[in-house]
Amino acid sequence: MLTNFAALEVGQHLYWQIGNIRLHGQVFLTSWILLGALLVFISLGTKKMENDPKGLQNLLEFLWDYIRDLARTQIGEKVYRDWMPFIGTLFLFIFISNWGGALIPWKLIKLPSGELGAPTADLNTTIALALLVSLSYFYAGLSNKGWRYFEYYVHPTPIMLPFKILEDFTKPLSLSFRLFGNILADELVVAVLVFLVPLVLPIPVMFLGLFTSAIQALIFATLAAYYIGEAVEEHH
């Protein structure tokens, strides 16, 4: 019984077959539940907007202000407005995925294969997010500066060219694997500890996991904003 409850499944997925393509169903199921909760939360908070904010609206405004500060400090005063929704979405999506994966007892829902968990513990999700960030900063650079964007690659000296090109590959790689690794490791550590010592001991690790989850969301959003800011920055 107990061993069943604490059993660990790594790299097992609930496959959905649609025509020729295969999907990780558990990722979508969890993300839909969490996103549904987020959207309900937000629509409740913005239902009756007042000039003198109360309750949920206050919380949402705090969140908005937090995201604006993040985007503004990294991207700069000029174009941060265009990218704030994207940065904010990344932050909110990763944050609720991480915390939702850690806080909700998904184990209680039995799946035929695999298990529900943080959508960010699946490499597909994190690579998708990282590639979106890559596309975003290319788009931001090209749309703001045109072909002059590529001056960035030879900016202080042309010697930088190979490193800057390499960076375009390492950025999405590090973004995706950092998030994936942290969240998966957190889930694994908790699962292993629960498996070994099912009482008390995993609790501090769970708190540590919550902390890491929040930090990872902030890191991802901050780095995404920083890359976009780097792409739109004017060199003189």
Tokens of 162: 């190979």
Interaction between residue 96 and another protein (CB under 8 A): no
- What's the CA gap between 143 and 163, in Å, rounded? 23
Counting beta carbons within 10 angstroms of the beta carbon of residue 145, is it exposed (0 to 12), middle (13 to 18) or buried (19 or more)? Answer: middle
Interaction between residue 12 and another protein (CB under 8 A): yes
Dump the DSSP string for 38-105.
HHHHHHHHTSS--SS--HHHHHHHHHHHHHHHHHHHHH-TTTHHHHHHHHHHHHHHHHHHHHHHHHS-
Question: In angstroms, what is the minimal distance from the CB of 235 to another protein?
Answer: 29
* 124 or 150: CB nearest another protein: 124
Applying CB under 8 A, the span of 82-90, 137-145, 203-211, 213-221 interacting with another protein comes to 82-90
Applying CB under 8 A, the span of 21-29, 72-80, 161-169, 209-217 interacting with another protein comes to 21-29
* 73 or 89: CB nearest another protein: 89
Interaction between residue 169 and another protein (CB under 8 A): no
Interaction between residue 92 and another protein (CB under 8 A): yes
Question: In angstroms, what is the minimal distance from the CB of 151 to another protein?
Answer: 29
- Give ∠ CA 9-209-67 in degrees, rounded to 5: 120
Question: In angstroms, what is the minimal distance from the CB of 7 to another protein?
Answer: 6
Please name the residues in contact with 115: beta carbons below 8 A apart, sequence gap of 6 or more: 9, 12, 26, 106, 107
Interaction between residue 157 and another protein (CB under 8 A): no
Helix (H, G, I), strand (E, B) or coil at 122: coil
Please name the residues in contact with 212: beta carbons below 8 A apart, sequence gap of 6 or more: 182, 186
Dump the DSSP string for 128-176.
HHHHHHHHHHHHHHHHHHGGGGGGGGGSS-GGGHHHHHHHHHHHHHHHH
Interaction between residue 185 and another protein (CB under 8 A): no
Instruction: Give me the 34-73 binding string for another protein, x by CB under 8 A, dash otherwise.
Output: -x---x--xx--x--x-x-x---x--xx--xx-xx-----
Interaction between residue 190 and another protein (CB under 8 A): no
Question: In angstroms, what is the minimal distance from the CB of 94 to another protein?
Answer: 10
Tell me, what amino acid is at 220? F
Question: What residues make contact with another protein under the rule CB under 8 A?
Answer: 3, 7-13, 15, 21-24, 27-28, 31, 35, 39, 42-43, 46, 49, 51, 53, 57, 60-61, 64-65, 67-68, 84-86, 88-90, 92-93, 114, 119, 122-125, 127-129, 131-132, 184, 192, 195
